[in-house]
Amino acid sequence: MDVICQAKSGMGKTAVFVLSTLQQIEHHIGQVAALVLCHTRELAYQICHEFERFSTYLPDIKVAVFYGGVYIKIHEDLLKNECPHIVVGTPGRILALARDKDLSLKDVRHFILDECDKMLESLDMRRDVQEIFKMTPHDKQVMMLSATLSKEIRPVCKKFMQDVMSHGHNT
């Protein structure tokens, strides 16, 4: 089931998708099973840290974070040496890695947009998200989370979804 979740900052949206993803993930060597996109490096880093924190007792789960401002060769080398099960990153860097075939998205089962409104309101970022989305399998769970979801952006979010469950204030 696809999910749109709106809740104020500090209410635990990150914990919701981190824990539900870790609970459901089927991790196979060399396959990215979950992709989390967010609009800033800082948020990507924080989310990656939360996955690492909550997966402390799941030693087989590998998490990696990719964002611009870091020499891309570092990310390419990391992906060649050890493919993570969970990838967190900004759309621009994820798209660059996927286009260059360094990052395969063909096994993604969980597609998560944190602060989805921030990414989908920016047309450039929306284009990147759409292109990344098309590289993932049709059969996957989509989760969109935000503190603020305007009436204008809700229909854009729903275009990424099939069987939608909305939860939150004014959804």
Tokens of 57: 């007792």
Amino acid identity at 99: R
pLDDT over 90 at 11, yes or no: no
Domains in the chain, CATH or no CATH each: 2-168 (3.40.50.300)
Contact 114, 37 (CB under 8 A): yes
Tokens of 8: 């104020």
Note the pLDDT tens digit of each residue in 92-144: 999 999 999 999 999 999 999 999 999 999 899 999 999 999 999 999 999 99
- The whole-model pTM stands at 0.92
CA dist list (Å): 84 to 48, 61, 66: 12, 8, 11
pLDDT over 90 at 71, yes or no: yes
Give 11-47 as a 3 state SS string.
CCHHHHHHHHHHHHCCCCCCCCCEEEECCCHHHHHHH
Position 150 scores a pLDDT of: 81
Residue 66 carries which DSSP code? E
Banded model confidence at residue 167, pLDDT cuts 50, 70, 90: low
Considering only 2-6, 30-34, 46-50, which range has the smallest mean pLDDT?
2-6
Banded model confidence at residue 24, pLDDT cuts 50, 70, 90: very high
Q: Are strands 164-168 and 141-146 parallel, antiparallel or unpaired?
A: unpaired
Considering only 50-54, 66-70, 159-163, which range has the smallest mean pLDDT?
159-163
